[in-house]
A and B are shown apart, each in its own frame.
Chain A
Amino acid sequence: MARILIVDDEEDVRIALKQVLERAGYEVTVAATGNEGLDVMKREGADLVITDVIMPGVDGIATAKQIREKYRDTRIIVISGGGRTAPDPYEPDAISTRSYLASASKAGADQTLTKPFDRDELLRVVRDLLDES
């Protein structure tokens, strides 16, 4: 069964996602920060990482970028509330109107999801990425 790592600083999101994914039959690990998530990856690894984009410390984009660099086969989903603009990691000086999600795609995320998404939407994306459809 595929292993999924959830990185989100919001406990409620972590719990809800964990429950939904576990009910769908996945093995789920959670991490509250980007660094914690990278530790989990080092220790246990994961087939799929779902990370929030705005987090204290290492944010979702940096997390996605590092995971993409180190673990080529791990799929990444970046999720966001959608309402903030982010600097482009490749053009930090440019005044950007890109959303975090667009930046995340550029940083290596396979898929992005805008909150609030429902269970079906999430599972469809997860199955797509894990080639289970």
Chain B
Amino acid sequence: MSGDLIDNLPAVIVAIPLLFAFATPLIGKLSVKLSRLWALLGVVVTTALMYILGWEVLSGDAVVKSYVFGAGGDGLPLIGDNPARIAFSVDGMSAFMGLIMATVAFGAVIYSFSFVRKYSGNDKFFTLLLLMLAANFGMVFTGDLFNLFVWFEISSVAVCGLTAFRSNRGEAFEAAAKYLIYSTVAGLVFLFAIGLLYGQYGHLNINYLAGAIGGQEEMMMVDKIALGLMVTVFALKAGAVPIHMATPDAYSEAPAPITAMFVTASQAGLYAVFRVSFTLYGGNLDITGNLIHIAGWVLIILGILSMFVGVTMALVQKDIKRLMAYHAISQTGYMLLGVGVGLTVLGTGKFDEFGRTAMTGGIFHIFNHALYKGLLFLTAGALIYKAGTRDLNRMGGLGRDMKFTAIFFIIGALAISGIPPMNGFSSKLLIYESVFSFNPVIGAIAMLVSLLTLASFVKVFYAAFMGPRAKGMARGEVPTTMLLGMAVLAGMILVFTFAPALVVRTLVDPAVNALAGSTGRTDASLTLLTGQGYWNAIVFGGAMVLAVIITLMVRMLGNKGTTAKGEGKKPYLFGNSTEIDGRPIVIPGSNVYWGFTKALERYYRPVEKFHSGIVNEYVFWFVSTLGVVILAMVVL
């Protein structure tokens, strides 16, 4: 590989999806089928280049690949004291995010190949998909605040366009309008924050700004307000409670492969939260230490709220995509919590004690989340494809025909619930243990949320896959390319499940080091050290297989040839009859946890009222959160 290409890769990786995006409608004029292939080619090329760049950045120690637009090569040209060009800079964290985005986009575009065939406007679909991919890369690569704003807006426009893709549904437009209002207001608030920092320091380049902010005698009011504004805006993009309300709307209305990519677009918002609080304000901890520790607490509180409200709202949903959207919010809480704990203790002795582990867990969870949540949204898409409805109460018996989809769903559901030995467990274990050292109560909440996550996925599995075939379900398995798209992500989950320590070493550690300015990597082994203990998925998996073999052997010792007779033959349902008028009782999905939700009625009533669906109130909550966060930053 020639050095020239590698030097230009940060720009090329953004440019190629843009080129393919705007050429797609032109090719669509010739043939729609060709435009699909063209878009696939675009994503494949981009993914390949991203892997090369990721290898370059992540294999070394503290490698930063910079690309300055319009410059001859060495550094930023200055006008006066101000750097006058836009620069991309790709460090460990950016490359980490880029790899995730490329991988999920690859799975999503393969899946889309037959998924969108039954809709019109395929070429526009792929145009927006590629545009979204470019915007995602732009958000994580850019080293310039205003450029970040531009990519933020491009991402919003592409996401909203795709949310409204199924234009026969009025709800799709409703969701798109709400999300666009929400994200545009947030974007403008970010623009004000940029203005504040530019007016104060005259820089837009993040590294220059970090130097200027850290180089003062003490923090100015402007710095504090700007940090509060930016953290809240990007928390909105990431979908943190209480500023998440448009996110489940848009997630659930977008077509399934888009929702999978939407997850990575939200994670770009998460990336921006971390980039701003660590890189922009973490330059000189003697000056900014107090402020970013408060920012860490803001992230922790947002994280706890997201985890808990997200999962409890998911438990009562009957729309399968909306349910999964609330889970995405809940899982985002883990990332905010993990990295928030790291930020709270950054620069103190506790960082080495447990802060670094918490950050590793939070960032590792971004990786795992993108894979399993992407997979789950794709399986949801497959279910909707066959069932023709998103209502869990009207689905049923789909597992009889969709064996592969059921397997993929189980893999994703176990991973999201943090069941060992799945990859979701590895990252959650790091978070549990380190957060427990930080504050035992928060650690306990994190574990409780995982339990509730499992509970609600049991409900989905029960309602969609099991039971007798419901009316109107199409027979057979989904088309092969849809299965292939799911298989890409499921295969990755299985591979990374058994090598958590290797993922941490090769992908997560450079990202943590890039953010926290620390050094070092974990050892090259398969055992993941969690600070207080260790975790080896292969040993655990082996033990599980052994336990199953022993159980089967014990079972073989029993009397052969016994069969159930009489009453013993009947299914047992807590002593009640399992049939009414000769037909088996089928409990619809939304009644599964009736007792639980009834007991928590006093919690659910205000929380459901909070998600009122009125966009004015959503913006009001955003403004209130802004006010509270800024007040906390300024006063404390």
Do A and B share a complex? Answer: no
On A, residues with C-beta under 8 Å from B are none
On B, residues with C-beta under 8 Å from A are none
